[in-house]
């Protein structure tokens, strides 16, 4: 594969770059995922909430690739937190995906006011023990949520998938994850394509390397050592976004991108996000 693996804390290999499908309708997801698999992606990031597990699963099945060559992540929807509800939601996700295991299962949001992420994660541990998921983890957990999780459960999460891009560099979270052996995975790695790709410093680095701004930003993620899951439904961009393993940013480029941090979220604050 063109994409090197990250070794998770249980020894499982996860491609460092994958394909995200948030906001891709189910009937378009099959074609988008098929295009990504043809382009060389071997990791797909979906979620029950995205409503496109079925289309994602159809593309995986139609690809003709051996199941073990594709790393499939899905996520527990907020409304399904709790021990029994989590087990039922997992069965429903597997059925939609048409798979008999997933590679990585994540709690989508901590919803700390509900107090259900510990019970949900205990159900994850059961699924992991039963061999129905190869790795378990979380998404949008702040260090305080991880601390409680680690204190009250037995399997350290393999991954925390968080919003991360040059305007939100997440230094404290990445440091905490590294101390605990948790891989950091970046969502909205391109800043949702809103403005970040026009920032003059990024454009200048792209011109210097004869690359696109998106490739520069994705290469920055790769050099941070995080897992990254850019999304596009445009075939040329899907192909462009994986071509980031044949050039390197130098220390000057990295310093210029470091200087863009504004600690500015595009998405919700995990401490308070609790949609009903």
Does 187 bind ligand NAD (CB under 6 A)? Our answer is: yes
Site for ligand NAD in 140-159 (CB under 6 A): 140
Window contacting ligand NAD (CB under 6 A); options: 95-103, 199-207, 223-231, 242-250:
223-231
Alpha helical stretches, state H, 109-260: 117-129, 143-152, 171-180, 200-209, 213-224, 235-240, 251-258
**Strand 13-15 versus strand 5-7 pairing type:** antiparallel
Shortest Cβ distance from residue 50 to ligand NAD (Å)? 7
Window contacting ligand NAD (CB under 6 A); options: 76-84, 174-182, 190-198, 202-210:
190-198
Structure tokens at 70: 């594709």
Shortest Cβ distance from residue 56 to ligand NAD (Å)? 10
Task: Give the side-chain half-sphere CA count within 13 A for 172.
Answer: 6
Window contacting ligand NAD (CB under 6 A); options: 58-66, 113-121, 224-232, 245-253:
224-232
Residues 156-175 as x/- pattern, contact with ligand NAD by CB under 6 A: -----x--------------
Shortest Cβ distance from residue 239 to ligand NAD (Å)? 9
Q: Which of 135, 149, 190, 199 binds ligand NAD (CB under 6 A)?
A: 190
The answer to the question of whether 177 is labelled as a binding residue is: no
Shortest Cβ distance from residue 43 to ligand NAD (Å)? 10
Among all residues, which ones are annotated catalytic?
Answer: 50
Of 166, 159, 113, the closest CA to residue 138 belongs to 159
Q: Which of 6, 8, 14, 21 binds ligand NAD (CB under 6 A)?
A: 21
Does 82 bind ligand NAD (CB under 6 A)? Our answer is: no
* Residue pair 275/111 in contact by the 8 Å Cβ criterion: no
Q: Which of 2, 9, 13, 22 binds ligand NAD (CB under 6 A)?
A: 22
Task: Please tell me the distance from the alpha carbon of residue 156 to that of residue 150, in angstroms, as a whole number.
Answer: 6
Structure tokens at 232: 């596009």
For 12, which DSSP code? -
Task: Please tell me the distance from the alpha carbon of residue 15 to that of residue 184, in angstroms, as a whole number.
Answer: 13
Residues 45-74 as x/- pattern, contact with ligand NAD by CB under 6 A: x-----------------------------
* Residue pair 205/252 in contact by the 8 Å Cβ criterion: no
Q: Which of 40, 51, 193, 235 binds ligand NAD (CB under 6 A)?
A: 193
- Cα–Cα distance list, 116 to 62, 156, 158 (Å): 37, 17, 19
Dihedral over alpha carbons 244, 250, 255, 256 (to 10 degrees) = -70
Residues within the interface to ligand NAD (CB under 6 A) = 20-22, 45, 108, 139-140, 161, 187-193, 197, 212, 214, 229-232, 237, 240-241, 267
């Amino acid at each position: 594969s063109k994409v090197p693996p990250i070794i998770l804390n249980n020894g499982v290999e996860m491609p460092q770059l994958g394909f995200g499908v948030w906001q891709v309708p189910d009937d378009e997801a099959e074609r988008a995922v098929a295009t990504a698999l043809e382009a060389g992606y071997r990791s797909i990031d979906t979620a029950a909430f995205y409503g496109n597990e079925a289309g994602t699963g159809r593309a995986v099945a139609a690809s003709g690739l051996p199941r073990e060559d594709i790393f499939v992540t899905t996520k527990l929807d907020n409304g399904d937190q709790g021990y029994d509800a989590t087990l039922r939601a997992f069965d429903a996700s597997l059925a939609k995906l048409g798979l008999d295991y997933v590679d990585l299962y994540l709690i989508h949001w901590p919803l700390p006011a509900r107090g259900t992420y510990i019970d949900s994660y205990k159900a994850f541990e059961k699924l992991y023990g039963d061999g129905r998921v190869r790795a378990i983890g979380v998404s949008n957990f702040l260090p305080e949520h991880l601390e409680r999780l680690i204190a009250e459960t037995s399997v350290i999460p393999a991954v925390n998938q968080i919003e991360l891009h040059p305007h939100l560099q997440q230094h404290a979270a990445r440091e905490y994850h590294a101390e605990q052996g948790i891989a950091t995975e970046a969502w909205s790695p391109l800043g949702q394509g809103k403005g970040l790709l026009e920032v003059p410093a990024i454009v200048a680095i792209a011109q210097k390397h004869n690359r696109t701004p998106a490739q520069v930003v994705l290469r920055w993620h790769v050099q941070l050592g995080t897992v990254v899951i850019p999304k596009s439904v445009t075939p040329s961009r899907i192909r462009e976004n994986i071509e980031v393993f044949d050039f390197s940013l130098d220390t000057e480029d990295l310093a210029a991108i470091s200087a863009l941090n504004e600690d500015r979220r595009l998405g919700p604050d995990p401490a308070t996000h609790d949609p009903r």
